[in-house]
Amino acid sequence: MAVSVLTLTDAPAVAQPETAGAAVNAGVRKPPPGMVEALQRDLGLSAAQVQARLLNEIRLTPIATQLRRRLGSRFGGSWLSGTIAQTLVVGTARASDIPQILAAGARPEVVSRSLAELHVIKDKLDAALPAHPPNVGSVRYVDVRNNIVTVLSEDPMKTEDIIKGIGVDTSAVRVLASGERPRPLYDLVGGDPYYIGTSARCSIGFSVVKGTQRGFVSAGHCGKAGNTTTGFNRVAQGTFQASTFPGSDFSWIGVNSNWTPKPSVNNGSGGVVSVAGSREAIEGSSVCRSGSTTDWHCGTIQQRNASVTYPQGNIFELTRTNVCAEPGDSGGSFISVDQAQGVTSGGSGDCDSGGTTYFQPINEILITYGLSLVTTAGNPPPPTTGTCTGFPHTVTGTLASGGSAYQPNNLYYYSGVSGVHSACLDGPDGTDFDLYLQKWNGRGWVTVAAAEGPNPDEKITYTGTYGYYRYRVNSSSGSGPYLLGYKAP
């Protein structure tokens, strides 16, 4: 059966609210995790001040709702005044409402126009201004504090001329000069579709960053450097920064500011799977693929370092799986638990009868282009090969300062003959990483060789007998990703 790439061409485009009378137990209503800390940071308050503010808001919200219902068409809006000990202010179009507003525990303010009247004015502005260029009144809102409708515009004079012809009370409208240009924001999620040109469709692999440029990785056969892309919604998205095909099959696309990279992969059923790193899974491990044609399918890693011949040429160092895929799934995410594995390249078969699919390992892409994978723990620096070349086995990992890990993949390897064991460790610049070779003696692991220099990079060469071996990577100082290449007799 022929093996082919999986680009799709000529594809079609694509709790009940709390009632005012409900009792509020401030001791039970706790803010969600992280909210207090975020408010401290963004509002410049202490933890105690944030707690006081939130409890006050919980207490005052039902009062505002109750007064809005009681005042009806006279209601002029409500707002909180103050930073910590906030006061509830309620506007009314009739002065006779002042006693009941005070009795409810709020501060009254008599206004010229009710909230309903302001909304009527805003609706008329909404109907007229969007027909004009976006920089003429691109933002409109009701400002209850000032009892007015505000319009933000890059050309206030032109905007005011338009408003005069609408037939609204111009004294109720304020036009402010502003360079604000709102735009929609979209997430980059692995497995989601993107389009190249007018007809070709591929799938997002994983979110990445390079310096200040944000983007994602995908298959190389999906596009060439300079090709532009649009997102799942056909909105302008980005440009291919680099692409390699044939020989290898990977690319990376830089996106514009409308798109936000996420450490997530679409699970095909309305949710996402988080991406925590790019630790290479061992052969036989479970692996799942997300793509824009067939969504979410799983299987196992069969073999690594596979070479395949496509009509366009040879592709090397792919990983072979028994996961199915179809055209349009190209570039999509392969993930094992929460560890990114690679991007979909090509295969044979389909998701009705089953098939074989190959992926390009993610760490090779990160190394080649100097990219940082976007993960739930942040964006670690890209792994580097440094001087660790020519080794038949390579594994990657990330260490915290003072941490350690065992390789390969927290397991060991077996050598059936005597001979030379060699390894090369490439750690992040500015750190002190050490490397140890350990052998099983029947009762425990014994260190048989060590490289403990003051630098991030280490090498080991050891002549030993047959048996079980493993490497221990240790951080004496510093943290970050590393690459380990090793060779056994």
Which one of the listed residues 114, 138, 153, 221 is annotated catalytic? 221
Say whether 330 is catalytic. yes
7 burial type by CB count under 10 A (0-12 exposed, 13-18 middle, 19+ buried): buried
Residue whose pair of structure tokens reads 């949710």 in the numeric block: 271
Question: Is there a catalytic annotation at residue 10?
Answer: no
Q: Which amino acid is at 452?
A: E
Spatial separation of the C-alpha atoms in residues 257 and 273, rounded to whole Å: 24
Q: Is the dihedral of CA 256, 257, 263, 267 positive or negative?
A: negative
The CA–CA distances, whole Å, from 7 to 21, 112, 174, 427 equal: 57, 62, 52, 36
DSSP string, 70-100: HHGGGEEEEEEESSSS-EEEEEES-GGGHHH
Q: Is 221 a catalytic residue?
A: yes
Q: For residue 109, give Cα distances in angstroms to 86, 91, 99, 464.
A: 16, 5, 11, 87
Round to whole Å and give the CA distance between 41 and 26: 23
Q: For 269, which DSSP code?
A: S
Angstrom distance (rounded) from CA 221 to CA 245: 6
Q: What distance in Å separates the CA atoms of residue 420 and residue 487, rounded to the nearest whole number? A: 8
Residue pair 431/479 in contact (Cβ under 8 Å)? The answer is yes
Which amino acid, 411?
L
What one-character-per-residue DSSP string does 38-79 give? HHHHHHT--HHHHHHHHHHHHHHHHHHHHHHHHHGGGEEEEE
Task: Judge contact between 133 and 153, C-beta under 8 A.
Answer: no
User: Measured between alpha carbons, how far is 197 from 40 in angstroms, rounded to an integer?
Assistant: 46
- Which member of 249, 329, 434, 457 is catalytic? 249
CA 483/CA 478 separation, integer angstroms: 15
The DSSP-derived string for 98-127 is HHHHHHTT-EEEE-SS-HHHHHHHHHHHHH
C-alpha torsion sign, points 68, 70, 74, 79: negative
d(CA 25, CA 22): 9
Catalytic residue among 264, 292, 330, 345: 330
User: Which neighbouring-strand residues pair with 255?
Assistant: 238
Helix (H) / strand (E) containing 185: none
Catalytic residue numbers read 221, 249, 330
